[in-house]
Amino acid sequence: MRSPRRCSRNGCPRQAVATLTYVYNESTAVVGPLAAFAEPHTYDLCEPHARSLTAPRGWDVVRHEGEFEPPPPTTDDLVALAEAVREAARPAPRPPEPDQGHENPHQTGRRGHLRVIPPNH
pLDDT digits (tens, 9 = 90+) for 27-58: 999 999 998 888 888 999 999 999 999 988 99
pTM above 0.85, yes or no: no
Cα pseudo-dihedral 95, 96, 101, 107, rounded to 10: -120
Between 28 and 87, whose confidence is greater?
A: 28
What distance separates the 2 farthest-apart alpha carbons in the chain?
84
β-strand 114-116 against 60-63: which pairing, if any?
A: unpaired
Spatial neighbors of 102 by CB under 8 A, at least 6 apart, are none
Predicted confidence at residue 16, as pLDDT, reads 92
Q: Please determine, for residue 92, whether its predicted confidence score (pLDDT) is greater than 90.
A: no
Predicted confidence at residue 118, as pLDDT, reads 72
Tell me the percentage of the chain whose pLDDT exceeds 90: 38
Between 1 and 32, whose confidence is greater?
A: 32
Predicted confidence at residue 12, as pLDDT, reads 94
